[in-house]
Structure 1
Amino acid sequence: MSELDLWLVPLLMALLVGVLCPVTGTLLVTQRRVLQANLISHAVLPGVAVAVAFGLDPAIGGVISGLLGSMAAERLQQGQPAGQEAVINTVLAGFLGLGVLLIPVFNIRLDLEALLFGDLLIVDWSDLYRVLVAAAAMALLLLTRYRHLVFLGVDPEGAQASGLSVRNLQLVQSLVTSMVIVSSMAAVGVILVIGLLCAPVLPGLWRVRSLRAAMLQSALVGLALSAVGFLLAVPLNLPPGPLIGVVCMVLLCIPRLRPANPA
């Protein structure tokens, strides 16, 4: 890798993830499914461990594992209507624990710190290509199912009653979300990715009039957050991923970006 690539690839990665994650997060926030994304982000670990053990692409294993975690939670929630959040958190803990256990079982070497918190400074072109594939999948979903996604976010019960196959749509969305999270883990890790999925969506969300406008706004905010986090990390000699997570939290502390309290 040339000296230019050492800085260009991490910067491009940060900017692409900074756009893709907020667009994905806009769907999750408007559909009130952020907890599901948090589950997926933790459920990728067993798949990554299995893929590494068998010499496969860790991204493929992570996507499959994340989707399985989401499907398991959906299935188990059906018998626990009053404790759906508890079910999601239990499945989250179970998949994360399974992933940690599989590392010594398969006797593999896996950098858990980089997996959980990311390491932008060691990404390469293959990581960038994974983000582009995830971005293409998200673009395809939006182009083919945009109106259905709007309906699902505004009135999920009405969408179900109208005959829309909500479960299949959510399954496809979970698959795309898994791809986004796994492709982003090289930049910000599977834990800190939640910050980029959520924080850029919240400022000014109450002002937008359409899902498309909310996505555009969140993408611009996410782009700025990633750029600031990365550019601050270089002179401060700090890891960019965690710093981007901190910048996301700081954003929410700015008063004028929050809706005014009703009188």
Structure 2
Amino acid sequence: MEMGWLEWLAEPLRYPFMQRALLSALLVGTICAITGSYLIVRRLALLGDAVSRAVMPGLAIAFIVGGNIFVGAFIAGVLSTALIGYIHTHSKIKEDTAMGLVFSGFFATGIILITKIQSETKVDLMHFLFGNILGVSESDLLATAVISAAVVATILLLFKELLFHSFDPLGAKAAGLPTEVLHLVLMSLIALTIVASMQSVGVVLVIALMIAPGATAYLLTRRLPSMMGLAVLLGAIASLVGLYLSYYLDIASGPAVVVVSIACFVLAFLFSPRQGLLTRLWQDRKADYAQKPAPPVVLR
């Protein structure tokens, strides 16, 4: 007897670990889409990638000293952003070069520390690289919910200021807004988003989940509020579909979520009503056909 679609949807929810995974995926998909939208409009995707890698040494050091690994990861992420800015403003090094240097140095240091920890304590910290959403515990889910609430509340509180600063930083500075503080707040929100996503998709894949829904929405709408709302919806859909695919196809959950999110971008890239590649080709073909002169009428 074939399984109906309601039974197909309900089957994974019989297990508590899948329930926690679904909730975690929805939370992570939401905050990744929101903060990722700012990265896209400010053209800072590379900076988000650098911060996602830079949290690794903070995580490892916090474990060594017996501290909270999420706090350590957050501190390392913010510190890497400050260091990138310092190198850029106090030398002739361009910002993208500074990002590459800092992210590579932090990431390599983190890998060294984590492998050293694993060899001495047999504790597995490598799952933070690629995530293990099916292993989310109740305490992990609570931490993700608290961080998500803090990120969303901060963005709602400073939405107008962040919007102004994102599209016209010089105008925002001339208007008297504390642009450096706003930049630090945004980078802190990105670091918090990465910390909240470590258990679900890992620091290697989180940048894809931050960028893909926002980039997809960017092809479908023109206003930032609409872009954020659509990105959140796409992030939630990708998270749910990816988890169901991982359950029924027996594949890794984090990568499955990312692949679905990228697939949504590919569809928008091809079929977006305004900017889709195939849509533009079809419209150009229709325009060329309309401009062709009508064949002469032969009277006999």
**TM-score of the aligned structures, taking structure 1 as reference length:** 0.92
Q: 3-state SS of the aligned residue for 1:203?
A: helix
Shift of 1:209: 4.5
Within 5 Å, give how 1:102-113 maps onto structure 2.
102-103=113-114, 107-113=120-126
Measure the CA separation in 1 of the matches of 2:221 and 2:162: 16
Against the structure 1 CA distance between its residues 154 and 81, is the aligned structure 2 distance closer, same or farther, given a 3 Å change threshold? farther
What does residue 156 of structure 1 align with?
A: 169
Shift of 1:146: 0.9
1:220-257 deviation line (CA, Å, top 9, x unaligned):
00000111110000011111001112222222221113
Contact 1:80 1:87 in 2 (8 A): no
Measure the CA separation in 2 of the matches of 1:103 and 1:177: 23
What does residue 235 of structure 1 align with?
A: 248
Q: 3-state SS of the aligned residue for 1:227?
A: helix
1:69-103 deviation line (CA, Å, top 9, x unaligned):
11111111113566211110110000011112223
Measure the CA separation in 1 of the matches of 2:188 and 2:220: 30
Aligned residue among 129, 133, 154 for 1:120: 133
**TM-score of the aligned structures, taking structure 2 as reference length:** 0.81
What does residue 259 of structure 1 align with?
A: 275
Shift of 1:6: 1.8
Structure 2 gaps of 5+ residues are 1-13, 285-300
Kindly indicate whether residue 52 of structure 2 is the aligned counterpart of residue 52 of structure 1: no
Contact 1:225 1:248 in 2 (8 A): yes
Kindly indicate whether residue 190 of structure 2 is the aligned counterpart of residue 190 of structure 1: no
Shift of 1:210: 3.2
Measure the CA separation in 1 of the matches of 2:220 and 2:133: 33
What does residue 146 of structure 1 align with?
A: 159
Against the structure 1 CA distance between its residues 228 and 100, is the aligned structure 2 distance closer, same or farther, given a 3 Å change threshold? same
Measure the CA separation in 1 of the matches of 2:67 and 2:253: 27
Q: 3-state SS of the aligned residue for 1:35?
A: helix
Shift of 1:41: 0.6
Structure 1 stretch displaced more, 219-228 or 49-58: 49-58
- Structure 2 counterpart of 1:122, one-letter code: G
Contact 2:31 2:152 in 1 (8 A): no
Kindly indicate whether residue 112 of structure 2 is the aligned counterpart of residue 96 of structure 1: no
Measure the CA separation in 1 of the matches of 2:209 and 2:115: 31
Q: Which consecutive segments of 4 or more residues in structure 1 shift more than 6 A? A: none
What does residue 7 of structure 1 align with?
A: 18
Shift of 1:104: 5.2
Percent of residue pairs bearing the same amino acid type: 33
Against the structure 1 CA distance between its residues 206 and 156, is the aligned structure 2 distance closer, same or farther, given a 3 Å change threshold? farther
Measure the CA separation in 2 of the matches of 1:6 and 1:135: 20
- Structure 1 counterpart of 2:271, one-letter code: R
What does residue 83 of structure 1 align with?
A: 94
Larger Rg: 2
Measure the CA separation in 2 of the matches of 1:81 and 1:136: 39
Contact 2:130 2:204 in 1 (8 A): yes
Kindly indicate whether residue 64 of structure 2 is the aligned counterpart of residue 64 of structure 1: no
- Structure 2 counterpart of 1:84, one-letter code: E
Contact 2:148 2:196 in 1 (8 A): no
Kindly indicate whether residue 190 of structure 2 is the aligned counterpart of residue 174 of structure 1: no
Structure 1 gaps of 5+ residues are none
What does residue 226 of structure 1 align with?
A: 239
What does residue 84 of structure 2 align with?
A: 73
Contact 2:28 2:197 in 1 (8 A): yes
Contact 1:118 1:187 in 2 (8 A): yes
Structure 1 stretch displaced more, 79-88 or 19-28: 79-88
Structure 1 stretch displaced more, 13-22 or 245-254: 245-254
- Structure 2 counterpart of 1:79, one-letter code: H
Measure the CA separation in 2 of the matches of 1:81 and 1:211: 33
Contact 2:87 2:93 in 1 (8 A): no
